[in-house]
Amino acid sequence: MDSILSLLPELFQAVILRTPEHVRNNLEEIRLRTGCPLELIVSNSCWETPDEDLPIFKKEHAVQMLQRISRYSLYTMEEELKRGYVTIRGGHRIGLAGRVITENGHVLRIRDVTFFNIRLAKQKIGAALPLVPYLYQKGRWLGTLIIGAPQTGKTTLLRDLTRMISGGIPDRCIPAKKTGIIDERSEIAGCVAGVPQNDVGERTDVLDACPKAEGMMMMIRSMSPEVLIVDEIGRKEDMEAMFEALNAGVSVMASAHGFSLTQLKSRPSLAPLLEARMFDRYVILSRANLSMGCRMSVLDKLGRSIAAEEEIWH
């Protein structure tokens, strides 16, 4: 939290520090929009501050925040201003929005940053442990696609799976495996200057801020991983690279936005991969009961349920 608070104008730091401890501990997002009051997202809902008028985020606050995020050197953030986000110490990700400068239909950078979304990285050690009996069989990790809507825990599960795959699980006699992460959005490992801020295991190599389609084959050729970790697949070029990786004998753990396997099959870019049954397991996430966290169900490669929602909890 200290690394986040130091970026905020003092007025907003004070508001967050005044909130109850359970609110700070469960913060998911801090949203700042020019001309609007501070918004705190707690357990997927907006926190209503009792008996207090929240301060309005102004243009001068946005300028001050951007200066602090860039350490008063905006030219060093050219790539981040093009991508629309920056990862800071602790693995936290700050989404940026505002006026965009384009050239020939391509984004050059965000010129006037007036909206910020600070997404707090909270590693949950052991979150994926209930999945191990379904994903590790006969001495190998099965190719798996994790499906869920935003904020259902897809990246959290992938991160914890990476940690366990890379380090092994001695009490279950599961050995460590060479693991590679293609972290296009810097969310799994949360790298800063190439160094992971999250615990992703000692035998893990990371290609940070690298496009997935190119990164998968780069990782296979250069680092020879036994398991490949990829977040948020969906483009046609991602599918082509995924086919190559799976056919190269590498187990792939990936995630995709969606509500069900049926819905994903209706997406033209993903349909060929799913119809070819390249994944051995599908993990479906939902957030039906926020007080209990995220629900998980597991399907086999034919789409048949092998673990019902009520049996596995995250």
pLDDT per residue as tens digits for the range 132-180: 999 999 999 999 999 998 878 888 899 999 999 999 999 999 999 999 9
pLDDT for position 313: 46
Indicate the residue type of 266: S
Indicate if the alpha-carbon torsion angle 299, 301, 302, 303 is positive or negative. positive
Averaged pLDDT score across all residues of the chain = 87
pLDDT for position 244: 85
Highest averaged pLDDT of the listed ranges 38-47, 104-113, 262-271: 262-271
pLDDT for position 222: 93
Average pLDDT estimate for 118-141: 90
Largest CA distance in the chain: 60
pLDDT for position 153: 83
pLDDT for position 309: 56
Q: 118: which 2 tokens?
A: 């600070």
Q: What is the pTM of this model?
A: 0.81
Residue 246 has pLDDT above 90, yes or no: no
pLDDT for position 52: 64
Average pLDDT estimate for 229-253: 88
How much helix, strand and coil, in percent to the nearest 5, is found in the chain? 35, 30, 40
| C-alpha span between 227 and 253 (Å, rounded) | 7
pLDDT band at 104 (very low <50, low <70, confident <90, very high): confident
Domains observed in the chain: 2-119 (3.30.450), 129-311 (3.40.50.300)
Higher-confidence residue: 219 or 1? Answer: 219
pLDDT for position 57: 95
One-character DSSP codes across 58-86: -HHHHHHHHHHHTTS-GGGGHHHHHHTEE
Percent of the chain with pLDDT over 90: 46
Ranges of beta strands (E only) in 176-294 are 179-183, 204-208, 227-230, 251-257, 281-286
Residue 290 has pLDDT above 60, yes or no: no
Q: What is the pLDDT of residues 42-97, one digit of tens each?
A: 877 788 765 567 889 999 999 999 999 988 887 778 888 888 888 887 778 899 99
Percent of the chain with pLDDT over 70: 93
pLDDT for position 289: 45
